[in-house]
Amino acid sequence: AAIPLSASTGQGEVGWRRVSESPLVLVHEKFFSKEECEELMQIALESGRMQEALVYSGHRKDAFQRDDQVRSNSHMYVEREDELKSSLLQRVIARMHHAAKIPERLGEKLQIARYQEGERYEMHHDSGPEVGRARPATLLVYLNDVEKGGETVFPLTREVLLQCRPIHHQGDQVRYGVDHCCHVQPPELLTIQARQGRAVLFFNHLDGKKDARAVHASCPVLAGQKWVAQRWFQFEKTDL
Ligand SMILES: O=C(O)CCC(=O)C(=O)O
Ligand SMILES: [Fe+2]
């Protein structure tokens, strides 16, 4: 069953709480402070490097393209030079690795992403061992409160996953997956609301093998903006 995570359920919670066993998903209510969240958004904006997000769309490692049917937000990556200049970046990255129990050398560049009204990210899996991008876990932290929408969702049943597929036909109507799914809000859709400082840690592999149940999406933002910081972890160091 889904665990409703309303704005209020988390009040007073300390540390990590397991909100789903399969897929394995943990939530922390105050992983970053308000000040840390605000400084991270500032760093992203001031970098001048916010750009439209791409999606992997082929069988070659460099086949990344813009695809508004799948993903429509913007983001930037924190570089080594940014980290050297900012004790805040060093501190929050170390905290993310400590929480995931994965050494820092296995982290990809920290990503800071922004979704504006209407922007979303369709159902996907973060790990692609078949294309050389195996990622055992993902840690994301919401940097602001989203007025409406922008939840992170995990379908807990096959039926709901089918209901949420990126584009499908239902009778003679074309349905756009996550938009439709977030609107319908089936009970078997694990839904985590974006709240400043809240973190979601989820595991893309189980005993080393890709866990198909770790498929997830970002609901469209309906009002306001959504900012998230994300860290992906690897099994072995590659150049990402
Ligand atoms: O923004 C979110 O809630 C999820 C984003 C996501 O899944 C991704 O960027 O891989
Ligand atoms: Fe993802």
Going by C-alpha positions, the residue among 237, 159, 143 that lies closest to residue 196 is 143
Cβ–Cβ < 8 Å for 97, 222: no
What DSSP assignment string belongs to 28-46? Answer: ETTSS-HHHHHHHHHHHHH
* Ligand 1 atom nearest 152 alpha carbon: 3
If residue 140 lies in a helix (H) or strand (E), which one and from where to where? Answer: strand 137-142
pLDDT tens profile 35-76: 999 999 999 999 999 988 766 555 555 555 556 656 768 999
pLDDT in tens, 6-45: 434 444 567 999 999 999 999 999 999 999 999 999 999 9
User: Within a domain: residue 212?
Assistant: yes
Residue 141, in any domain of the structure: yes
Q: How far is the CA of 152 from the centre of ligand 1 (A)?
A: 7
**Domain count within the chain:** 1
The answer as to whether 160 is a domain residue is yes
Three-state secondary structure call for residue 25: strand
Q: How many residues does the chain have?
A: 240
- Domain residues for the domain of 42 are 16-232
Residue 193 sits in a domain of what CATH number? 2.60.120.620
Choice between 44 and 169, residue whose per-residue pLDDT is larger: 44
On whether residue 130 sits in a domain, the answer given is yes
Pocket test for ligand 1, best of 152, 182, 198 (most atoms within 8 A of CB): 152
Q: Is residue 238 part of a domain?
A: no
31 within some domain: yes
Q: Is residue 136 part of a domain?
A: yes
Question: What distance in angstroms lies between residue 150's CA and the mean position of ligand 2's atoms?
Answer: 13
Ligand 1 atom with the shortest distance to the CA of 226: 1
Looking at residue 30, what is its pLDDT?
A: 97
In a domain, 239, yes or no: no
